[in-house]
Amino acid sequence: MATPSAPADCSPPLMILLLLLVFLPLAVSCGDDGSGGYDVVSLTQSGSALSARLELVLAGETPADAALGAGAQRLCLTASLETDSRLRVRITDGDRPRWEVPQDIIPRPAPEDDLHNAPPASSTPLQGSRVLSAAGSDLVLTVHASPFRFTVSRRSTGDVLFDTAPGLVFRDKYLEVTSALPAGRASLYGLGEQTKGSFRLRHNDTFTLWNADIGAAHVDVNLYGAHPFYMDVRPPGAAHGVLLLSSNGMDVLYGGSYVTYKVIGGVLDFYFFAGPSPLAVVDQYTQLIGRPAPMPYWSLPVPVRVPERV
C-alpha cells in the first residue's frame, strides 16, 4: 500500500534518517514515561459490534510530548466481527477526522455502519471489562475499562493472541501501542519488505515501514513494500494474522515478548485473522486487501530453442 512520499529534494535514505532523528527520540520520552493513557467512559454493544468512548487521563506534559502535537482528549473505539474469521478494532480521534487508507483503495465497511444497522442498545458506563464474541467465531475481544486496554484471544484454546498494555499514546503526529507476546511460543513472519537472514523475524529488531527504492541486496533496511501485517505461528502450528491498516510511516519494534507500533499519525485500525492454519490466514488476509492478479498467458516468455553450434 502507498506510504507518504519524500520531498523531491530529499533522497529516501536522508528522509528516513531525518524521521528517525526527529520523531523517534521524542517518541521514546513520550511513550515510556508511564503517563497518560485513556479510560473507557461509555460503551454501546449490540450483536457482533460495539462502540466505546475513551477519555484521556490527565498527566504532566513535557516539551518532547508537545513536539508530537496535541494529545487527543477523546477517542472513539469501534469493534466488530466482520466475518467468523475476521475481527476489526479501530481507534480514532473522537473530535476530528484523521487520515486513513481511502475506501477506494481497500473497500471495507464504514465503522459507523456496524452499529447504525444493529438493533438499538443503550450506552452505559463500563465497569471492569466487556466481551465481544459470536457463536461461530473463534475470536474473542475483551475491552478493559480503567486503564483502557484490549485483548484478543482464541475461544477454542484460550490462547491470548494480542494483549495491549495500558498507556496508549494518541497524539496529532504520533501514535504508540504495545502488545505482549509469549516469547517462547510466538514465531512472527512479515512486517514490510526487507532482506533478512531468515523468514522468521528475530527478537530485538526494528522494522521501518517507509517505502524506499533500495535494491534487495541491501540487508536489514526498508525496501519498497510496506504492509504492516504479520503472521504468528505458535505450537502445535496454530496461526493467526494481525494487520494495522495504515499508510503512515512507522517503526515496529519486535522484542520477542512484545511488539510495539510507533506510527507518525493516522489512526489505529487493526484487523485480526483467526486462521488457524497459515494458508487460512493468507486466504482471510487477501479476502480483505484483494487477491493477487494472475499473469496473462500472453505476457509469459515463449521458450525458444537455440540451435547448438557445431
Residues in Cβ contact with 147 at an 8 Å cutoff, skipping those fewer than 6 apart: 37, 38, 39, 57, 166, 167
Write the pLDDT tens digit of every residue in 133-175. 999 999 999 999 999 999 999 999 999 999 999 999 999 999 9
Q: Among 168, 216, 160, which residue's Cα sits nearest to residue 192? A: 216
pLDDT band at 294 (very low <50, low <70, confident <90, very high): confident
The three-state secondary structure class of 186 is coil
pLDDT at 136: 94
For residue 30, the SS3 value is helix
Q: Cα–Cα distances in Å, from 119 out to 42, 89, 137?
A: 18, 20, 20
* pLDDT bracket for residue 226 (50, 70, 90): confident
Give the cell for residue 165.
Answer: 498494555
CB 64 within 8 A of CB 29: yes
pLDDT value at residue 36: 66
Read off the amino acid at residue 233.
Answer: V
Question: What confidence tens digit (pLDDT) does each residue in 144-154 have?
Answer: 999 999 999 99
Measure the CA–CA gap between 280 and 273, rounded to whole angstroms. 9
Taking the complete model, does pTM exceed 0.85, yes or no?
no
Sign of CA pseudo-dihedral 101, 103, 105, 108: positive
CATH of 12-289, one of 2.60.40.1760, 3.90.1170.50, 3.40.1370.10, 3.30.365.10: 2.60.40.1760
Query: Among the ranges 126-130, 225-229, 288-292, which has the highest mean pLDDT value?
Result: 288-292
- The domain spans of the chain are 12-289
Nearest to 169 by CA among 260, 251, 230, 99: 260
End-to-end Cα, the chain, rounded Å: 52
